[in-house]
Chains A and B, each alone.
Chain A
Amino acid sequence: MKHLLSAKDLSREQAVLILDMAEQMAATQARQVKKLPTLRGLIVVNLFFEDSTRTRISFETAAKRLSADVINFSPKGSSVSKGESLKDTVLTLGAMHTDAIVVRHYASGAPYTIAHSGWTDASVINAGDGTHQHPTQSLLDAMTMRRHLMGPNPLGQGLDGVNVVIVGDVLHSRVARSGVDLFTTLGAKVTLVAPATLLPVGVETWNCDVSYNLDQALAEVKPDALMMLRVQKERMSAGGGGFFPSPQEYTREYGLDEPRLAALPKRTIVMHPGPMNRGLEITSGAADGLRSVIVEQVANGVAVRMAVLYLTMTGAEGGEA
Protein backbone atom coordinates (compact mmCIF):
# COMPACT_ATOMS: atom_id res chain seq x y z
CA MET A 1 0.00 0.00 0.00
CA LYS A 2 1.80 3.09 -1.25
CA HIS A 3 -0.90 5.74 -0.70
CA LEU A 4 -4.11 6.09 1.28
CA LEU A 5 -6.38 8.39 -0.71
CA SER A 6 -9.90 7.14 -0.18
CA ALA A 7 -11.74 4.73 2.09
CA LYS A 8 -13.38 3.44 -1.08
CA ASP A 9 -10.03 2.05 -2.32
CA LEU A 10 -9.73 -0.28 0.68
CA SER A 11 -10.76 -3.91 0.40
CA ARG A 12 -12.18 -5.59 3.46
CA GLU A 13 -8.88 -7.46 3.97
CA GLN A 14 -6.86 -4.25 3.82
CA ALA A 15 -9.22 -2.44 6.18
CA VAL A 16 -9.15 -5.27 8.72
CA LEU A 17 -5.34 -5.39 8.43
CA ILE A 18 -5.09 -1.66 9.19
CA LEU A 19 -7.45 -2.00 12.16
CA ASP A 20 -5.54 -5.02 13.52
CA MET A 21 -2.23 -3.18 13.19
CA ALA A 22 -3.77 -0.16 14.88
CA GLU A 23 -4.64 -2.43 17.82
CA GLN A 24 -0.99 -3.55 18.04
CA MET A 25 0.14 0.07 17.79
CA ALA A 26 -2.30 1.02 20.55
CA ALA A 27 -0.83 -1.75 22.71
CA THR A 28 2.64 -0.23 22.36
CA GLN A 29 1.25 3.09 23.60
CA ALA A 30 0.53 1.57 27.01
CA ARG A 31 4.26 0.96 27.50
CA GLN A 32 6.65 3.08 29.47
CA VAL A 33 8.69 3.85 26.34
CA LYS A 34 6.13 4.88 23.72
CA LYS A 35 8.53 5.80 20.96
CA LEU A 36 9.24 3.09 18.40
CA PRO A 37 12.22 3.21 15.99
CA THR A 38 10.24 1.96 12.99
CA LEU A 39 10.38 5.03 10.70
CA ARG A 40 13.68 6.43 11.93
CA GLY A 41 15.36 8.66 9.34
CA LEU A 42 12.20 9.23 7.28
CA ILE A 43 10.53 12.58 6.79
CA VAL A 44 6.78 13.19 7.01
CA VAL A 45 5.40 16.54 5.88
CA ASN A 46 2.02 17.67 7.16
CA LEU A 47 0.74 19.72 4.23
CA PHE A 48 -2.37 21.38 5.64
CA PHE A 49 -4.17 23.90 3.44
CA GLU A 50 -7.12 23.91 5.84
CA ASP A 51 -7.23 24.57 9.56
CA SER A 52 -7.16 21.53 11.77
CA THR A 53 -6.24 20.80 15.35
CA ARG A 54 -6.87 17.18 16.07
CA THR A 55 -6.02 15.66 12.71
CA ARG A 56 -2.72 17.50 12.34
CA ILE A 57 -1.65 16.90 15.94
CA SER A 58 -2.80 13.29 15.66
CA PHE A 59 -0.70 12.69 12.52
CA GLU A 60 2.22 14.53 14.08
CA THR A 61 1.99 12.43 17.25
CA ALA A 62 1.70 9.23 15.23
CA ALA A 63 4.73 10.05 13.08
CA LYS A 64 6.82 11.06 16.10
CA ARG A 65 5.89 7.91 18.01
CA LEU A 66 7.35 6.00 15.05
CA SER A 67 10.51 8.16 15.13
CA ALA A 68 9.94 9.92 11.79
CA ASP A 69 10.92 13.57 11.49
CA VAL A 70 7.85 15.78 11.07
CA ILE A 71 7.64 19.05 9.21
CA ASN A 72 4.45 21.06 9.54
CA PHE A 73 3.45 23.19 6.61
CA SER A 74 0.62 25.69 6.56
CA PRO A 75 -0.06 28.09 3.69
CA LYS A 76 -0.06 31.09 6.00
CA GLY A 77 3.54 32.18 6.33
CA SER A 78 4.68 30.14 3.31
CA SER A 79 5.18 30.94 -0.35
CA VAL A 80 1.61 29.81 -1.01
CA SER A 81 0.53 33.23 0.29
CA LYS A 82 2.68 34.67 -2.52
CA GLY A 83 0.74 32.65 -5.04
CA GLU A 84 2.80 29.47 -5.33
CA SER A 85 0.85 26.67 -6.99
CA LEU A 86 0.19 23.27 -5.42
CA LYS A 87 2.47 21.73 -8.05
CA ASP A 88 5.44 23.95 -7.16
CA THR A 89 4.90 23.40 -3.45
CA VAL A 90 4.91 19.62 -3.94
CA LEU A 91 7.93 19.76 -6.29
CA THR A 92 9.79 21.68 -3.60
CA LEU A 93 8.95 19.06 -0.99
CA GLY A 94 10.00 16.33 -3.43
CA ALA A 95 13.37 17.99 -3.97
CA MET A 96 13.90 17.82 -0.22
CA HIS A 97 13.40 14.02 -0.28
CA THR A 98 10.18 13.85 1.65
CA ASP A 99 9.07 10.27 2.30
CA ALA A 100 5.40 10.89 3.02
CA ILE A 101 3.03 13.81 2.53
CA VAL A 102 -0.06 14.05 4.69
CA VAL A 103 -2.43 16.34 2.80
CA ARG A 104 -5.44 18.27 3.89
CA HIS A 105 -6.83 20.48 1.14
CA TYR A 106 -10.01 22.46 0.56
CA ALA A 107 -10.23 21.07 -2.98
CA SER A 108 -11.67 17.57 -3.40
CA GLY A 109 -9.16 15.42 -5.24
CA ALA A 110 -6.00 17.35 -4.34
CA PRO A 111 -4.35 14.31 -2.66
CA TYR A 112 -5.15 12.16 -5.71
CA THR A 113 -3.54 14.76 -7.96
CA ILE A 114 -0.40 14.89 -5.83
CA ALA A 115 -0.13 11.09 -5.74
CA HIS A 116 -0.65 10.54 -9.47
CA SER A 117 0.91 13.59 -11.12
CA GLY A 118 4.51 12.38 -10.94
CA TRP A 119 5.47 15.45 -8.93
CA THR A 120 6.78 13.35 -6.05
CA ASP A 121 7.77 9.78 -5.12
CA ALA A 122 6.48 10.23 -1.60
CA SER A 123 3.58 8.29 -0.12
CA VAL A 124 0.47 10.45 -0.03
CA ILE A 125 -2.04 10.17 2.79
CA ASN A 126 -5.35 11.97 2.52
CA ALA A 127 -6.13 13.85 5.75
CA GLY A 128 -9.34 15.32 4.36
CA ASP A 129 -9.96 16.82 0.93
CA GLY A 130 -12.86 19.21 0.41
CA THR A 131 -16.18 17.40 0.73
CA HIS A 132 -14.70 14.18 -0.63
CA GLN A 133 -12.87 11.81 1.72
CA HIS A 134 -11.22 11.55 5.13
CA PRO A 135 -10.15 7.90 5.26
CA THR A 136 -8.21 7.91 8.54
CA GLN A 137 -11.24 9.39 10.32
CA SER A 138 -13.46 6.56 9.14
CA LEU A 139 -10.76 4.04 10.13
CA LEU A 140 -10.57 5.42 13.66
CA ASP A 141 -14.39 5.40 13.82
CA ALA A 142 -14.39 1.77 12.71
CA MET A 143 -11.71 0.90 15.27
CA THR A 144 -13.79 2.54 18.03
CA MET A 145 -16.96 0.70 16.95
CA ARG A 146 -15.13 -2.61 16.66
CA ARG A 147 -13.76 -2.29 20.20
CA HIS A 148 -17.17 -1.59 21.69
CA LEU A 149 -19.47 -3.71 19.57
CA MET A 150 -17.56 -6.76 18.33
CA GLY A 151 -16.85 -8.58 21.59
CA PRO A 152 -13.75 -8.94 23.74
CA ASN A 153 -11.38 -9.90 20.91
CA PRO A 154 -11.93 -7.62 17.90
CA LEU A 155 -8.81 -8.77 16.01
CA GLY A 156 -9.52 -10.06 12.52
CA GLN A 157 -13.14 -8.93 12.60
CA GLY A 158 -15.10 -6.45 10.48
CA LEU A 159 -18.28 -4.70 11.57
CA ASP A 160 -20.70 -7.39 10.45
CA GLY A 161 -24.28 -6.80 11.59
CA VAL A 162 -23.56 -3.38 13.12
CA ASN A 163 -26.17 -0.67 12.51
CA VAL A 164 -24.71 2.81 12.17
CA VAL A 165 -26.78 5.98 12.04
CA ILE A 166 -25.00 9.13 10.83
CA VAL A 167 -26.86 12.37 11.54
CA GLY A 168 -26.44 15.91 10.29
CA ASP A 169 -24.55 17.88 7.69
CA VAL A 170 -23.90 15.06 5.21
CA LEU A 171 -23.66 17.53 2.32
CA HIS A 172 -20.37 19.02 3.49
CA SER A 173 -19.08 15.92 5.26
CA ARG A 174 -16.12 13.93 4.02
CA VAL A 175 -16.45 12.01 7.29
CA ALA A 176 -19.88 10.73 6.21
CA ARG A 177 -18.67 9.80 2.72
CA SER A 178 -15.63 7.90 4.01
CA GLY A 179 -17.75 6.34 6.72
CA VAL A 180 -20.40 5.00 4.36
CA ASP A 181 -17.67 3.51 2.14
CA LEU A 182 -15.63 1.91 4.90
CA PHE A 183 -18.38 0.74 7.27
CA THR A 184 -20.28 -1.01 4.48
CA THR A 185 -17.04 -2.59 3.22
CA LEU A 186 -16.65 -3.99 6.74
CA GLY A 187 -20.19 -5.39 6.73
CA ALA A 188 -22.10 -2.69 8.64
CA LYS A 189 -25.40 -1.12 7.59
CA VAL A 190 -25.46 2.68 7.44
CA THR A 191 -28.43 5.03 7.66
CA LEU A 192 -27.97 8.73 6.97
CA VAL A 193 -30.32 11.19 8.65
CA ALA A 194 -30.39 14.84 7.57
CA PRO A 195 -32.67 17.58 6.31
CA ALA A 196 -33.06 17.37 2.54
CA THR A 197 -31.05 20.57 2.15
CA LEU A 198 -28.01 18.96 3.78
CA LEU A 199 -27.97 15.84 1.63
CA PRO A 200 -25.89 15.87 -1.56
CA VAL A 201 -27.31 15.29 -5.00
CA GLY A 202 -26.95 11.60 -5.86
CA VAL A 203 -27.06 10.36 -2.26
CA GLU A 204 -29.60 7.75 -3.36
CA THR A 205 -26.82 5.99 -5.25
CA TRP A 206 -24.76 5.56 -2.06
CA ASN A 207 -24.67 2.20 -0.39
CA CYS A 208 -26.90 3.26 2.53
CA ASP A 209 -30.42 4.19 3.63
CA VAL A 210 -31.54 7.82 3.93
CA SER A 211 -34.07 9.34 6.29
CA TYR A 212 -35.27 12.88 6.96
CA ASN A 213 -36.67 12.14 10.40
CA LEU A 214 -34.28 11.45 13.28
CA ASP A 215 -36.79 10.14 15.83
CA GLN A 216 -38.32 7.79 13.30
CA ALA A 217 -34.90 6.54 12.15
CA LEU A 218 -33.69 5.92 15.72
CA ALA A 219 -36.87 4.00 16.55
CA GLU A 220 -36.70 1.88 13.40
CA VAL A 221 -32.98 1.21 13.11
CA LYS A 222 -32.13 0.89 16.83
CA PRO A 223 -28.53 1.86 16.09
CA ASP A 224 -25.46 0.25 17.65
CA ALA A 225 -23.52 3.41 16.89
CA LEU A 226 -24.92 6.91 16.54
CA MET A 227 -22.59 9.37 14.86
CA MET A 228 -23.41 13.08 15.07
CA LEU A 229 -21.81 15.22 12.38
CA ARG A 230 -20.65 18.76 12.90
CA VAL A 231 -22.75 21.48 11.25
CA GLN A 232 -20.03 23.00 9.07
CA LYS A 233 -20.87 26.64 9.55
CA GLU A 234 -17.66 27.76 7.80
CA ARG A 235 -18.96 26.19 4.60
CA MET A 236 -22.32 27.98 4.96
CA SER A 237 -23.12 31.66 5.04
CA ALA A 238 -24.19 33.30 8.30
CA GLY A 239 -27.15 31.90 10.23
CA GLY A 240 -27.23 28.55 8.47
CA GLY A 241 -27.14 29.98 4.95
CA GLY A 242 -30.64 28.84 4.06
CA PHE A 243 -29.80 25.20 4.74
CA PHE A 244 -32.13 25.29 7.74
CA PRO A 245 -34.47 27.97 9.11
CA SER A 246 -32.63 28.52 12.41
CA PRO A 247 -30.11 26.80 14.66
CA GLN A 248 -32.89 26.25 17.22
CA GLU A 249 -34.98 24.41 14.68
CA TYR A 250 -32.00 22.30 13.58
CA THR A 251 -31.35 21.33 17.20
CA ARG A 252 -35.00 20.43 17.74
CA GLU A 253 -35.19 18.21 14.65
CA TYR A 254 -31.67 16.76 14.36
CA GLY A 255 -29.78 17.46 17.61
CA LEU A 256 -28.91 14.74 20.11
CA ASP A 257 -30.43 15.81 23.42
CA GLU A 258 -31.22 14.00 26.68
CA PRO A 259 -34.66 12.62 25.71
CA ARG A 260 -33.30 11.15 22.47
CA LEU A 261 -30.27 9.82 24.36
CA ALA A 262 -32.50 8.14 26.96
CA ALA A 263 -34.58 6.48 24.22
CA LEU A 264 -31.55 4.79 22.62
CA PRO A 265 -30.89 1.08 23.16
CA LYS A 266 -28.53 0.42 26.09
CA ARG A 267 -25.64 -0.78 23.90
CA THR A 268 -25.62 2.28 21.62
CA ILE A 269 -22.42 4.32 21.57
CA VAL A 270 -22.43 8.04 20.75
CA MET A 271 -19.74 9.32 18.37
CA HIS A 272 -18.72 12.69 16.98
CA PRO A 273 -15.72 13.40 14.73
CA GLY A 274 -15.12 16.76 16.39
CA PRO A 275 -14.84 19.66 16.75
CA MET A 276 -18.28 19.78 18.36
CA ASN A 277 -20.81 22.61 18.25
CA ARG A 278 -22.11 21.97 21.75
CA GLY A 279 -25.78 22.94 21.96
CA LEU A 280 -26.28 22.71 18.19
CA GLU A 281 -25.93 19.12 16.98
CA ILE A 282 -25.19 17.62 20.40
CA THR A 283 -25.87 18.71 23.99
CA SER A 284 -23.10 18.68 26.56
CA GLY A 285 -24.98 16.00 28.47
CA ALA A 286 -24.82 13.67 25.46
CA ALA A 287 -21.26 14.62 24.53
CA ASP A 288 -19.90 13.97 28.03
CA GLY A 289 -22.26 11.13 28.98
CA LEU A 290 -21.41 7.51 29.69
CA ARG A 291 -22.27 6.35 26.17
CA SER A 292 -20.02 8.91 24.58
CA VAL A 293 -16.82 7.51 23.03
CA ILE A 294 -15.76 10.85 21.56
CA VAL A 295 -12.52 11.12 23.56
CA GLU A 296 -11.69 7.51 22.74
CA GLN A 297 -12.08 8.31 19.05
CA VAL A 298 -9.26 10.83 19.38
CA ALA A 299 -7.00 8.35 21.18
CA ASN A 300 -7.69 5.67 18.57
CA GLY A 301 -6.87 8.20 15.86
CA VAL A 302 -3.20 8.16 16.84
CA ALA A 303 -3.06 4.35 16.69
CA VAL A 304 -4.81 4.23 13.31
CA ARG A 305 -2.47 6.86 11.85
CA MET A 306 0.56 4.99 13.17
CA ALA A 307 -0.71 1.90 11.36
CA VAL A 308 -1.35 3.84 8.15
CA LEU A 309 2.07 5.53 8.20
CA TYR A 310 3.70 2.16 8.86
CA LEU A 311 1.85 0.44 6.02
CA THR A 312 2.42 3.19 3.46
CA MET A 313 6.03 4.02 4.34
CA THR A 314 7.57 0.56 4.76
CA GLY A 315 7.88 -2.29 2.33
CA ALA A 316 9.81 -2.56 -0.90
CA GLU A 317 6.85 -3.52 -3.04
CA GLY A 318 5.08 -1.00 -5.25
CA GLY A 319 1.38 -0.90 -5.90
CA GLU A 320 -1.46 1.12 -4.51
CA ALA A 321 -4.13 0.48 -1.98
Chain B
Amino acid sequence: MADTVGTEVLTSGDISRALQRIAHEILEKNHGAEGLVLLGIPTRGVPLAARLAGIIAGIEPGWDASGATGELDVTIYRDDLHRRPTRVIGLTRLPDGGIDGATVVLVDDVLYSGRTIRAALDAIADLGRPKAVRLAVLVDRGHRELPIRADYVGKNLPTAADERVTVRLKETDGTDAVIITRAEEQR
Protein backbone atom coordinates (compact mmCIF):
# COMPACT_ATOMS: atom_id res chain seq x y z
CA MET B 1 0.00 0.00 0.00
CA ALA B 2 2.28 2.76 1.27
CA ASP B 3 5.40 0.92 0.12
CA THR B 4 5.78 3.14 -2.90
CA VAL B 5 4.68 6.51 -1.46
CA GLY B 6 6.17 8.53 1.35
CA THR B 7 9.68 9.32 2.51
CA GLU B 8 11.70 6.98 4.66
CA VAL B 9 12.94 9.12 7.54
CA LEU B 10 14.43 6.36 9.69
CA THR B 11 16.05 3.24 8.27
CA SER B 12 16.47 -0.09 10.00
CA GLY B 13 19.95 0.97 11.12
CA ASP B 14 18.67 4.31 12.42
CA ILE B 15 16.02 2.54 14.48
CA SER B 16 18.44 0.12 16.11
CA ARG B 17 20.94 2.93 16.87
CA ALA B 18 18.15 5.03 18.40
CA LEU B 19 17.06 2.10 20.58
CA GLN B 20 20.67 1.48 21.67
CA ARG B 21 20.96 5.11 22.75
CA ILE B 22 17.60 5.10 24.53
CA ALA B 23 18.58 1.94 26.43
CA HIS B 24 21.78 3.60 27.62
CA GLU B 25 19.93 6.77 28.58
CA ILE B 26 17.39 4.76 30.61
CA LEU B 27 20.20 2.99 32.46
CA GLU B 28 22.11 6.24 33.03
CA LYS B 29 19.11 8.06 34.45
CA ASN B 30 18.05 5.05 36.56
CA HIS B 31 21.65 4.38 37.78
CA GLY B 32 21.44 0.79 36.50
CA ALA B 33 18.63 -1.62 35.80
CA GLU B 34 17.49 -1.99 39.42
CA GLY B 35 13.70 -1.66 39.74
CA LEU B 36 13.10 -1.03 36.03
CA VAL B 37 9.85 -2.21 34.40
CA LEU B 38 9.27 -1.72 30.67
CA LEU B 39 5.63 -1.58 29.54
CA GLY B 40 4.93 -1.56 25.80
CA ILE B 41 1.73 0.00 24.51
CA PRO B 42 0.13 -2.15 21.77
CA THR B 43 0.57 -2.59 18.94
CA ARG B 44 4.12 -1.47 18.15
CA GLY B 45 5.17 -0.39 21.61
CA VAL B 46 5.25 -4.05 22.64
CA PRO B 47 8.04 -5.21 20.31
CA LEU B 48 9.92 -1.94 20.97
CA ALA B 49 9.80 -2.62 24.73
CA ALA B 50 11.04 -6.17 24.12
CA ARG B 51 13.95 -4.85 22.02
CA LEU B 52 14.90 -2.27 24.66
CA ALA B 53 14.75 -4.98 27.34
CA GLY B 54 17.04 -7.15 25.23
CA ILE B 55 19.58 -4.34 24.83
CA ILE B 56 19.47 -3.50 28.55
CA ALA B 57 19.98 -7.17 29.46
CA GLY B 58 23.05 -7.17 27.20
CA ILE B 59 24.51 -4.18 29.05
CA GLU B 60 23.52 -5.33 32.54
CA PRO B 61 24.00 -9.11 32.71
CA GLY B 62 21.92 -10.68 35.45
CA TRP B 63 18.95 -8.41 34.81
CA ASP B 64 15.85 -10.52 34.17
CA ALA B 65 14.54 -8.96 30.97
CA SER B 66 11.41 -11.09 30.54
CA GLY B 67 10.51 -10.70 34.22
CA ALA B 68 10.57 -6.91 33.92
CA THR B 69 8.71 -6.45 30.64
CA GLY B 70 4.96 -6.26 30.07
CA GLU B 71 2.28 -4.81 27.87
CA LEU B 72 -0.32 -2.23 28.71
CA ASP B 73 -3.50 -1.92 26.65
CA VAL B 74 -5.05 1.50 27.20
CA THR B 75 -8.20 1.14 25.06
CA ILE B 76 -10.65 1.11 27.95
CA TYR B 77 -9.11 4.34 29.28
CA ARG B 78 -9.28 6.32 26.05
CA ASP B 79 -11.32 9.53 25.82
CA ASP B 80 -12.26 9.13 22.14
CA LEU B 81 -14.26 5.89 22.37
CA HIS B 82 -17.41 7.69 21.26
CA ARG B 83 -15.79 9.50 18.34
CA ARG B 84 -14.22 6.60 16.48
CA PRO B 85 -15.25 3.12 15.38
CA THR B 86 -15.26 0.63 18.23
CA ARG B 87 -11.75 -0.39 19.17
CA VAL B 88 -10.77 -3.92 20.06
CA ILE B 89 -9.51 -4.32 23.60
CA GLY B 90 -6.04 -5.83 23.68
CA LEU B 91 -4.02 -7.74 26.22
CA THR B 92 -2.63 -6.22 29.41
CA ARG B 93 0.16 -8.27 30.96
CA LEU B 94 2.24 -7.03 33.88
CA PRO B 95 5.47 -8.56 35.16
CA ASP B 96 4.84 -11.08 37.95
CA GLY B 97 6.19 -8.66 40.53
CA GLY B 98 3.66 -5.99 39.54
CA ILE B 99 4.61 -2.34 39.23
CA ASP B 100 4.41 -1.15 42.86
CA GLY B 101 7.57 0.76 43.72
CA ALA B 102 9.09 0.17 40.27
CA THR B 103 10.37 2.73 37.79
CA VAL B 104 8.01 2.13 34.89
CA VAL B 105 9.14 3.10 31.41
CA LEU B 106 6.21 3.32 29.00
CA VAL B 107 7.23 2.48 25.44
CA ASP B 108 5.31 3.57 22.35
CA ASP B 109 6.13 4.05 18.69
CA VAL B 110 4.83 7.58 17.96
CA LEU B 111 4.08 10.42 20.37
CA TYR B 112 1.47 12.72 18.83
CA SER B 113 -1.49 14.26 20.69
CA GLY B 114 -0.45 12.75 24.02
CA ARG B 115 -3.89 11.27 24.60
CA THR B 116 -2.72 7.66 24.47
CA ILE B 117 -0.17 8.43 27.17
CA ARG B 118 -2.81 10.17 29.30
CA ALA B 119 -4.91 7.00 29.05
CA ALA B 120 -1.83 4.92 29.93
CA LEU B 121 -1.22 7.02 33.06
CA ASP B 122 -4.81 6.39 34.15
CA ALA B 123 -4.37 2.67 33.51
CA ILE B 124 -1.17 2.60 35.56
CA ALA B 125 -2.90 4.36 38.46
CA ASP B 126 -5.45 1.52 38.53
CA LEU B 127 -2.76 -1.16 38.42
CA GLY B 128 -0.47 -0.04 41.19
CA ARG B 129 1.74 2.75 42.49
CA PRO B 130 5.08 2.89 40.72
CA LYS B 131 7.95 4.97 42.14
CA ALA B 132 8.15 6.87 38.86
CA VAL B 133 6.74 6.69 35.33
CA ARG B 134 8.92 7.60 32.32
CA LEU B 135 8.10 7.69 28.63
CA ALA B 136 10.21 6.38 25.75
CA VAL B 137 9.08 6.83 22.14
CA LEU B 138 10.69 6.04 18.83
CA VAL B 139 9.30 9.16 17.14
CA ASP B 140 8.02 12.45 18.58
CA ARG B 141 6.07 14.19 15.82
CA GLY B 142 4.79 17.16 17.85
CA HIS B 143 1.21 18.54 17.88
CA ARG B 144 0.62 17.78 21.55
CA GLU B 145 -2.89 18.41 22.88
CA LEU B 146 -1.98 17.74 26.51
CA PRO B 147 0.94 18.77 28.75
CA ILE B 148 2.87 15.55 28.20
CA ARG B 149 6.48 15.07 27.07
CA ALA B 150 8.74 12.10 26.47
CA ASP B 151 11.84 11.38 28.59
CA TYR B 152 13.55 9.38 25.84
CA VAL B 153 13.04 10.14 22.14
CA GLY B 154 14.47 8.20 19.22
CA LYS B 155 13.90 10.99 16.71
CA ASN B 156 12.15 14.34 16.80
CA LEU B 157 10.22 14.70 13.54
CA PRO B 158 8.64 18.09 12.86
CA THR B 159 5.48 17.28 10.90
CA ALA B 160 2.37 18.95 9.59
CA ALA B 161 -0.93 17.79 11.02
CA ASP B 162 -2.04 16.37 7.66
CA GLU B 163 1.05 14.22 7.32
CA ARG B 164 1.07 10.63 8.46
CA VAL B 165 3.91 8.92 10.30
CA THR B 166 4.03 5.16 9.85
CA VAL B 167 6.30 2.97 11.95
CA ARG B 168 7.06 -0.50 10.64
CA LEU B 169 8.76 -3.14 12.71
CA LYS B 170 10.05 -6.58 11.80
CA GLU B 171 7.88 -8.24 14.46
CA THR B 172 4.61 -6.76 13.19
CA ASP B 173 5.25 -5.66 9.60
CA GLY B 174 8.21 -7.72 8.43
CA THR B 175 10.55 -4.76 8.01
CA ASP B 176 12.04 -1.90 10.06
CA ALA B 177 11.32 1.64 8.82
CA VAL B 178 9.72 4.96 9.73
CA ILE B 179 7.90 6.55 6.81
CA ILE B 180 6.34 9.97 6.51
CA THR B 181 3.47 10.42 4.03
CA ARG B 182 2.13 13.80 2.91
CA ALA B 183 -1.57 14.48 2.51
CA GLU B 184 -1.54 14.50 -1.29
CA GLU B 185 0.24 11.13 -1.31
CA GLN B 186 -2.39 9.48 0.89
CA ARG B 187 -5.25 7.58 -0.56
Binding site for B on A (CB under 8 A): 1, 17, 20-21, 24-25, 27-28, 31-33, 35-38, 66, 310-311, 314-317
**Residues of chain B with a CB closer than 8 A to A31's CB:** 126-127
Give the Cβ gap from A275 to chain B, nearest Cβ, in Å.
Answer: 31
Give the Cβ gap from A168 to chain B, nearest Cβ, in Å.
Answer: 35
Give the Cβ gap from B167 to chain A, nearest Cβ, in Å.
Answer: 24
Question: Could you list 28 examples of A-B contacts with CB < 8 Å?
Answer: A1-B86, A17-B88, A20-B88, A21-B88, A24-B73, A24-B89, A25-B89, A27-B92, A28-B76, A31-B127, A32-B126, A32-B127, A32-B128, A33-B127, A35-B126, A36-B76, A36-B77, A37-B76, A37-B77, A66-B76, A310-B76, A315-B84, A315-B85, A315-B86, A316-B82, A316-B84, A317-B85, A317-B86
**Residues of chain A with a CB closer than 8 A to B92's CB:** 24, 27-28
| A315/B90 contact (C-beta < 8 A), A31-B127, A36-B76 known | no
**Residues of chain A with a CB closer than 8 A to B160's CB:** none
Interface residue B183 (Cβ < 8 Å from any Cβ of A): no
**Residues of chain A with a CB closer than 8 A to B83's CB:** 316
Partner of B86 from the list A24, A27, A311 (CB cut-off 8 Å) is A311
Number of residues in B with C-beta < 8 Å to the partner? 20
Interface residue B91 (Cβ < 8 Å from any Cβ of A): yes
Given A1-B86, A314-B86, A315-B84, 16 more A-B residue pairs with CB atoms under 8 Å apart are A24-B90, A24-B91, A25-B89, A28-B92, A32-B126, A32-B127, A33-B126, A33-B127, A36-B126, A37-B76, A38-B76, A38-B77, A311-B86, A314-B87, A315-B82, A315-B87
**When chains A and B are docked, how far (Å) is the Cα of A66 from the Cα of B126?**
13
Most chain-A CB neighbours within 10 Å: which of B73, B86, B87?
B86
**Residues of chain B with a CB closer than 8 A to A35's CB:** 126
The residue on B at minimum CB distance from A99 is: B82
Contact A37 B86 (CB under 8 A): no
Contact A37 B85 (CB under 8 A): no
Binding site for A on B (CB under 8 A): 73, 76-77, 81-92, 122, 125-128
**Residues of chain B with a CB closer than 8 A to A20's CB:** 88
**When chains A and B are docked, how far (Å) is the Cα of A316 from the Cα of B80?**
9
The residue on A at minimum CB distance from B80 is: A316
Contact B81 A314 (CB under 8 A): yes
The residue on A at minimum CB distance from B86 is: A315
**Residues of chain B with a CB closer than 8 A to A314's CB:** 81-82, 86-87
* Closest 7 pairs between A and B when the two form their complex, measured CB to CB: A315-B86, A314-B81, A33-B126, A24-B89, A38-B76, A317-B85, A36-B76
**When chains A and B are docked, how far (Å) is the Cα of A20 from the Cα of B73?**
14
**Residues of chain A with a CB closer than 8 A to B81's CB:** 38, 314-315
**Residues of chain A with a CB closer than 8 A to B73's CB:** 24
Give the Cβ gap from B82 to chain A, nearest Cβ, in Å.
Answer: 6
Give the Cβ gap from A86 to chain B, nearest Cβ, in Å.
Answer: 28
